Structure 1
Amino acid sequence: MNELAVTHARGRPVPPPTDRRAALESAFAAHGWTPTTTASGSGGGPPALTGAEADRLAEVAAELRPIFTGAADGLNQLLVRHGAVPNLHGDPPILAFHAPGADLVDAWAADAGTALAMVIGVGQGVRLRTCEAGGCELVFFDVTRNASRRFCGLSCQNRAKASAYRARRRA
């Protein structure tokens, strides 16, 4: 979501990626995720992400982003539309929330939507957050013990604190 559905990050405008496919592949690689669940991926290695899939993933990211602000109204429709259903598949079997033959976008949307629904369903929805720093729209999952994290990272926290200090000094 942070790669595709954010217009401001860390106090600066973020232009949409000119090549969504490359941006997604870079983000997937940075997080150690390899897309292997497309119907077209029956060959020797993981399938390549297509430009059309990248565009569809951008739409899904934009649809999922409001959930981090507490607006989970459309989550059920997303789960139905992308065929979210728990099942075991693969060798060794893994628990997934998409059909074994789902295309990459439906698989990603079903798995991500189900993960967010599970977080909300067990009462941890308050941990889905957006950065509180001005000029930053990044989303994150708060893993602090007391669910008190307010910023996406140290740079936004420092900017917010310095801004508050300057405002107090002016007053």
Structure 2
Amino acid sequence: MPVTIDPWRITGQPEIDSYVGGRVELAVLLVNCLAVTTAHGRPVTPPQSGEERRAAINAQLAAAGRPPSALTVADADRLAEVAGQLRPVFGAGDRILAVVAQLNDLLIRHQAVANLHDHPDRPPTLAFHRADAGLVDAWAADMGTALAMVIGVGQSIRLGACQAGKCSLVFFDTTRNASRRFCDLSCQNRAKASAYRARRRA
């Protein structure tokens, strides 16, 4: 018998929702850092070398108030590949079925598996990767599973891509009615100004 889950509120426990949301936000951070070529109306060049990628990831983690990661240059290069694979999940729209197939492949490749990790000074914590997984597999499994959970409860619309011109930044829409269309206020204002000029020309 299929289990019915209330859309978006995956469970009644805010800790679990926070865990899933945090992994989706990590996916947003990596995609925007490593896999977009336009932002706020301008072309951008993603970091090209492993060292540049590692520095960019840690800079974005710091900007988001997250602790720095001990990732290696090789890890950063592999995470760039993961970010490129996760990018189509955001703003998928009618392409969601094709995206799901790619996401399933990622989950298998990085050996995603839900399990409890032991900690000597606190209760066991839920994770979506093996306890012995390396950093890249752990991050990819956690991010991929969190995205799959959002999609699986019928909320893929919350995995958005900016709709302003020349901006491919992505975001996680946590508004009540899933109405967000832009990565931030600057792109929203650009889109409004562009629409106003188009109306004036018409």
SS of the residue corresponding to residue 33 of structure 2 reads coil
1:6 equivalent to 2:28? Answer no
Q: Is the 8 A contact 2:91 2:157 kept in 1?
A: no
Give the structure 2 partner of residue 101 of structure 1.
Answer: 132
Partners of 1:155 and 1:32 lie apart in 2 by: 22
1:163 equivalent to 2:194? Answer yes
- Residue identity matched to 1:26: A
Aligned pairs, number: 160
Gaps of 5+ in 2: 1-30, 93-98
Give the structure 2 partner of residue 72 of structure 1.
Answer: 100
SS of the residue corresponding to residue 2 of structure 1 reads helix
The structure carrying a bigger helix percent of its residues is 2
Give the structure 2 partner of residue 38 of structure 1.
Answer: none
SS of the residue corresponding to residue 168 of structure 1 reads helix
- Residue identity matched to 2:110: H
1:147 equivalent to 2:175? Answer no
Displacement of 1:113 in angstroms is: 0.0
SS of the residue corresponding to residue 77 of structure 2 reads helix
Give the structure 2 partner of residue 33 of structure 1.
Answer: 66
Partners of 1:16 and 1:50 lie apart in 2 by: 18
Q: CA distance change for structure 1 residues 3 and 74 in 2, over 3 Å: closer, same or farther?
A: same
- Residue identity matched to 1:59: E
C-alpha offsets along residues 93-133 of structure 1, whole Å, 9 cap, x if unaligned? Answer: 21100011111000000000000000001111111110000
Partners of 1:107 and 1:151 lie apart in 2 by: 29
Query: RMSD between aligned alpha carbons?
Result: 1.3
Q: Is the 8 A contact 2:117 2:131 kept in 1?
A: yes
Q: Describe how 1:90-129 pairs up with structure 2 within 5 A.
A: 90-91=118-119, 92=122, 93-129=124-160
C-alpha offsets along residues 65-94 of structure 1, whole Å, 9 cap, x if unaligned? Answer: 101132332011100110100111131221
TM-score normalised over the length of structure 2: 0.76
Displacement of 1:17 in angstroms is: 1.8
Gaps of 5+ in 1: 36-46
